[in-house]
Amino acid sequence: MVTGEERERLREVALGAGACAAGFADPYLPPAVDRDYAAWIAAGNNATMRWLSEHQPLRADPATVLPGVRTVISLAFPYLPAERRDPSLPYLPLYAYGRDYHKALRSLLRPFCSFIEGEYGVRTRVCVDSAPVHERAFALRAGIGRRGLNGCVITPRHGSFVFLAEVFTTLQVEPDDLSFGECLQCGRCVRACPAGALNGDGTMDAARCINYLTIEHPYPLTPAQEKLLHDTNTLVGCDRCQTVCPLNRDALTTGIPDFQPRREVLTATTLTRAITPGSPLRRALK
């Protein structure tokens, strides 16, 4: 088992890859994680996102992600841009100002995985929304942040403006301590949600969320949904539950080049294919 200074050296390599937090967790989560997730699905909170319900048995067994897995390394990468869109423009989410994070994080983590594989002769697999993984649960188990009432993982320096990624590995690393607690429980995020999508217990009703309505919703919007987007001046996405959080007040901006804002995104008034190549906004094009 990797422990002590050797474990800290692994963490330093992860941070050197651009992560703002990195922690190690046992791959087998407590049964309550799967029970709570199943209850959330049973209540219909996943809306039409069937892939969230179709792979529950896989989520429960990390060996389906990587046979022989012994450690999950949870990492957070900051994305908060230093430059923002003019507030009079239709809203675009802060996470989408730069390059598609799926591709960017895989590129950033490739040297880290190569280091682990070469140093220890083990296997790794990177997960960035690409496998049925309880990524927030692993982040909390690895101690890299605290859970907000909006479900986001809030890290010490960059708040919740982070992308989460996991490296599953057959290398056994001594686990970190669990998350250092809950958020402030002030409820500002719950009250700020214009659609009332937050359940107040760290979960949400996706069918009511503006992010879901503008990105994942497969049907024409109802008049009430159209009015919601009009009244909130929304083009795509929503960050209100994050921007009102006191723990995000002093969040540091990202230094990762891939997540710096693109000029065309900063000025766009409509969503077109011309501004979405290589961007996570591509998914929102219907």
Average pLDDT, stretch 65-76? 97
Kindly tell me if the per-residue pLDDT of 113 is higher than 90: yes
Kindly tell me if the per-residue pLDDT of 180 is higher than 80: no
Average pLDDT, stretch 255-283? 91
Asked whether the beta carbons of 64 and 58 are under 8 A apart, the reply is: yes
* SS3 label, residue 271: coil
b/e per residue, 42-64, with b = 16+ CB within 10 A? eeebbbebeebeeeeeebbebee
Domain segments of the chain as ranges: 4-284
pLDDT band at 57 (very low <50, low <70, confident <90, very high): confident
Beta strands in 101-251 (DSSP E): 124-127, 146-147, 153-154, 162-169
Residue 129 annotated in active site: yes
Q: What is the DSSP string of 91-144?
A: B--GGGSSS-HHHHHHHHHHHHHHHHHHHH---EEEESSSSS--HHHHHHHTTS
pLDDT band at 286 (very low <50, low <70, confident <90, very high): low
Amino acid identity, residue 244? Answer: V
Task: Specify the pLDDT at position 245.
Answer: 98
Annotated catalytic residue within 34, 36, 129, 239? 129
Average pLDDT, stretch 132-148? 96
Asked whether the beta carbons of 40 and 278 are under 8 A apart, the reply is: no
φ/ψ of residue 29, rounded to 5: -80, 160
Kindly tell me the sign of the dihedral angle through the C-alpha atoms of 191, 195, 196, 197: negative
Task: Report residue 146 as tokens.
Answer: 């605290």
> Mean pLDDT across the chain, nearest whole number?
95
In angstroms, the CA 165 to CA 148 distance is 18
For residue range 77-106, what is the model confidence (pLDDT) as tens digits? 999 999 999 999 999 999 999 999 999 999
Kindly tell me if the per-residue pLDDT of 146 is higher than 90: yes
Percent of the chain past pLDDT 90, that is, above it, reads 88
